[in-house]
Amino acid sequence: MVRCSCGQQSPKEGEPRCLADKRLLEESFGKIFPELEPRGWRRARLLLRALKALGLCVCSPILRFGEDWIFLFLLGISMATISFGLDVATSKFQRVSLWVYDGLEGYHHLQYFSWTSYHVALMVCSAAAAKYISPQAAGSGIPELKVALRGVVLHEFFTLRTFMAKLLGIICTLAGGSTIFLGKVGPFVHMATILATLLGKVMVWFAGSAENPGRKYELLIAGAAVGVACCFVAPVGGVLFGVEVTGTHFAVRDYWRGFFAATCAALTFRLLAVLNNTRETVAVLFRTSWRVEFPYDLPELLSYAILGVLCGVLCCVFLFCHRNMLMLFQNCPKINCFMMNNKIVYAGFVSLVLASLTFPPALGQYIGARLSMKELLETLFNNMTWGLEEASLGGFTPQPQNLTYDANWLQWRHPNVSMLEMLALFLLAKFLMLLAATTMMVPAGYFLPVFVYGAALGRLYGEMMAKIFPDGIISEGIRIRITPAGYALAVLVAVLVANAISQRLQPSFFDGIIIVKKLPFLPKLSVGKSGGHDIYAEDFMVTDLKYLTRESKFKDLWTLLDVSALKQFPLVDSEESRVLLGSIKRKHLSALLSDQLSAEKRFRYLLSQSPRRTAKPPEAELGGYEEKGNNLETSEETEGPPFDAAETSWGEGAEEPLRGVARGGAHLSDREKRVRYHNMVEEWECHQLQEALRLEDLPIDPAPYRLLEKETLYQCYDLFSLLGLHIAYVTNMGRLVGVVGLKELKTAVEGCVKGTFAGRALRHSYGPEDQQELQAPEDVRRSNSLA
């Protein structure tokens, strides 16, 4: 193509004259009327280039410094800001409620309506947020987090939608104060892990790296530590909580991540309190005024041990009642149906009962109903012996209406009831109220109520000790007075004794919820159980195996998928040797079988048997006949590839398979044609099922997790816990001899702990109920040497 003297291109060789004229006209028009850019478009492009260059300049030093530090810092300060803002908001809500209540003094009916309607409205809003915004926001979130940390995928558990529902719900729950008697630690741990997941995705995009499950696991651990730290200003406690949540194994590299993020959260939380004039300087969350460093002496350690026994026994009673109450609600069809379909109504009813019990002129005046959860802890930590103060005050001293830090303890004084009796009534009432409150499906935590309850129990015990020993205890010739507030704090001896008793007799609170919800989680295997070393994988493995071989045909695959509902199948060399070659997921096998028996291939076969072409499909001649030959195409995972429109369209000149089936016999009726068509389809399907599997078309995992027959129960337990396994194959010299799933291991652990292990009696075939436990994670792979 050459240019003419006018600057325009000459027509191309062989180009039609009309097209050449059209092209030349368009070029001339473009030169005369050039396309104008929108105003400011050039400046916008220059600005985008400058911002891109600035982003590269900022991104480069951040990546050199380490994006993990930036992520952990942002996570800590973000959650601390949310926690502080939530505390301020809930405190304002409670003050407004008390202001309205006190303004109606003298009108008891209006006061009761104001008191109950406030708490009912809050809990209805909290339950509505959990029901309509995100059902995953209900409850504490820690049981589900423990399950998620071992590889189980929970739908919408770490989404922004769940975060917003959790935040809205916990604001309403905490605004209920000590009447609802629920906390915020669990929801904040859940929200911190959600925020860690979202920030992790942003950092992955920012760094340009690929997301992997190992990194996500580390982010969740850091989020759990931050959630505790921004509630109690306890970085070390947050890290220890992260260790507890993970179950059995905690990587050393996760310590600094959790501690750094928790320290940032704790420091930010206290700095915000200083900026808000709530505190004069950075200090502990719950301050005390003890004049000695240790408010107890060595002879009191025995007394603390007795207190630990009382706490452990009371804890076991509560856990037993809570778990059995939830199981009763779940197993009773009518109650379960009502609670599932009327979550908001049930939350409103329970909150109405709790508000009626804590109404200040009624029972509330004996249990400090006007105090918030934080104020309850501050009064219980007060460095005064209430019995002596009560005796010094003597006559009638009314409970103060305007609460202050110095006068809050007077809420525990009543002219007709002693302080010891009020503490005892408080423990009994809150025991029942906490049981009722935990049944509501609202975002709520359960750590803070337990702390308040333990502090009240310790305070009652300390006041009784001060009453029994009014002159104190003699230690090294010195008489030391008893400090009741010291018993309200957790002391190592009491904690150890209480923890030993509770763990020995009952599963923990969150383990009980996991049991009730039937979540896939391994119970704890006691260290002192020596019987675990005498139990081997061959004692509890499944020997009725379902597998594929190299010589397997499509008919074998059809039978295997029909009789078994496993999520993956082992691949062996042959029936005789059974050497394990790998594993194949069910969805890939279903897709392969669907492709082998697809409607496209069947249609092509029928077309090849048809002598003539027409414009009608065979279904038109069959009177609306619907195919039923391929019943595997019933889900998204088993659907075959879409048809090619160019090959399967019924255009002009297309062949009509039914007339080909009839072989041109016009004398055949529609019924005979339909029978002939069915026979051809069955013959074609039989021929297709006789073909050998095309293993080269399947993604095969060449190194599934393996166990030896003589692997002990402890070794199997550690491998499943460390790697988050759901299934492992047992081999002997490479030969497949059995399979161990999460269900079998869980049964073996429970039998070992209870001493009822049955050994070979556990061997059975897998059924549909085992599928949740047998779904192996796709993206978690470790070195085969670990197994």
Q: How confident is the model over 729-774, as pLDDT tens digits?
A: 999 888 999 999 888 888 888 888 777 776 654 444 444 444 444 4
The domain limits of the chain are 1-31, 67-275, 298-517, 531-585+700-786, 593-696
The yes-or-no verdict on residue 655 having pLDDT over 50 is no
* 722 contact partners, CB below 8 Å, separation of at least 6: 248, 249, 786
CA 37-38-42 angle, to 5 degrees, is 70
Question: What are the tens digits of pLDDT across the range 341-365?
Answer: 899 999 999 999 999 999 988 888 8
For residue 152, give both structure tokens: 């189980």
Average pLDDT over residues 44-70: 68
Element (H, E) at 558: helix 554-563
- According to DSSP, residue 332 is labeled S
* 200 contact partners, CB below 8 Å, separation of at least 6: 71, 211, 215, 216, 219
Of 497, 501, 505, 502, which is closest to residue 304 (Cα–Cα)?
A: 497
The yes-or-no verdict on residue 413 having pLDDT over 60 is yes
Residues 551/772, Cβ–Cβ less than 8 Å: no
> Collapsing DSSP states into helix, strand and coil, what is residue 582?
strand
- According to DSSP, residue 622 is labeled T
The yes-or-no verdict on residue 443 having pLDDT over 70 is yes
The yes-or-no verdict on residue 678 having pLDDT over 70 is yes
Alpha helices for 469-546 (secondary structure H): 484-488, 492-505, 509-517, 537-540
The yes-or-no verdict on residue 295 having pLDDT over 70 is no
Spatial separation of the C-alpha atoms in residues 459 and 372, rounded to whole Å: 17
Q: How far is CA 572 from the centre of its chain?
A: 36
Q: Which CATH architecture has domain 67-275?
A: Orthogonal Bundle (1.10)
The yes-or-no verdict on residue 490 having pLDDT over 60 is no
Average pLDDT over residues 529-556: 85
Angle of helix 67-103 versus helix 108-128 axis, rounded to 10: 160
Spatial separation of the C-alpha atoms in residues 317 and 197, rounded to whole Å: 37
> Collapsing DSSP states into helix, strand and coil, what is residue 700?
coil
For residue 473, give both structure tokens: 């205890």
The yes-or-no verdict on residue 466 having pLDDT over 70 is yes
| Beta bridge mates, 536 | 712
What is the CATH number assigned to the segment(s) 298-517?
Answer: 1.10.3080.10
Spatial separation of the C-alpha atoms in residues 259 and 236, rounded to whole Å: 7
The yes-or-no verdict on residue 144 having pLDDT over 50 is yes
* 620 contact partners, CB below 8 Å, separation of at least 6: none
Spatial separation of the C-alpha atoms in residues 305 and 482, rounded to whole Å: 16
The yes-or-no verdict on residue 634 having pLDDT over 60 is no
Residues 605/684, Cβ–Cβ less than 8 Å: yes
Alpha helices for 690-775 (secondary structure H): 713-723, 742-754, 771-774
From first CA to last CA, the distance across the chain in angstroms is 70
Spatial separation of the C-alpha atoms in residues 114 and 733, rounded to whole Å: 75
Q: Give the CA count within 13 Å in the CB-facing half-sphere of 436.
A: 20
Spatial separation of the C-alpha atoms in residues 196 and 224, rounded to whole Å: 9
Tell me what pLDDT residue 523 has: 77
Report strand pairing: 478-480 vs 548-549.
Answer: unpaired
Q: Which CATH architecture has domain 531-585+700-786?
A: Roll (3.10)
Average pLDDT over residues 709-738: 87
Spatial separation of the C-alpha atoms in residues 326 and 438, rounded to whole Å: 9
> Collapsing DSSP states into helix, strand and coil, what is residue 572?
strand
Sequence length of the chain is 787
Question: What are the tens digits of pLDDT across the range 221-245?
Answer: 888 888 888 888 888 888 887 777 7
Of 372, 364, 347, which is closest to residue 175 (Cα–Cα)?
A: 372
298-517 and 67-275 share a CATH fold: yes
390 or 753: whose pLDDT is higher? 753
Question: Which of 327-336, 342-351, 567-576, 647-656 has the weakest average pLDDT?
Answer: 647-656
Element (H, E) at 489: none
The yes-or-no verdict on residue 652 having pLDDT over 60 is no
Spatial separation of the C-alpha atoms in residues 742 and 731, rounded to whole Å: 17
Of 259, 157, 150, 154, which is closest to residue 213 (Cα–Cα)?
A: 150
| pLDDT tier at 255, thresholds 50, 70, 90 | confident
> How is the beta sheet containing 568-572 ordered, strand by strand?
548-549, 568-572, 580-585
| pLDDT tier at 656, thresholds 50, 70, 90 | very low
CA 600, 602, 603, 604: dihedral to nearest 10 degrees?
90
35 or 738: whose pLDDT is higher? 738
Tell me what pLDDT residue 180 has: 92
Summary mean pLDDT of the chain: 77
Average pLDDT over residues 687-706: 87
| pLDDT tier at 126, thresholds 50, 70, 90 | very high
Question: What are the tens digits of pLDDT across the range 153-173?
Answer: 788 899 999 999 999 999 999
For residue 408, give both structure tokens: 């809050």
Spatial separation of the C-alpha atoms in residues 708 and 716, rounded to whole Å: 10
The yes-or-no verdict on residue 436 having pLDDT over 90 is yes
Tell me what pLDDT residue 167 has: 94
State what percent of residues in the chain have pLDDT above 70: 73
Tell me what pLDDT residue 489 has: 67
Question: Which of 78-82, 182-186, 408-412, 450-454 has the weakest average pLDDT?
Answer: 408-412
| pLDDT tier at 23, thresholds 50, 70, 90 | low
For residue 551, give both structure tokens: 């010589």
Q: What are the two backbone dihedrals, phi and then psi, of residue 327, each rounded to the nearest 5 degrees? A: -70, -35
435 or 696: whose pLDDT is higher? 435
The yes-or-no verdict on residue 67 having pLDDT over 80 is no
| Beta bridge mates, 706 | 729
Tell me what pLDDT residue 426 has: 93
3-state helix, strand, coil in the chain (%, to 5): 60, 5, 35
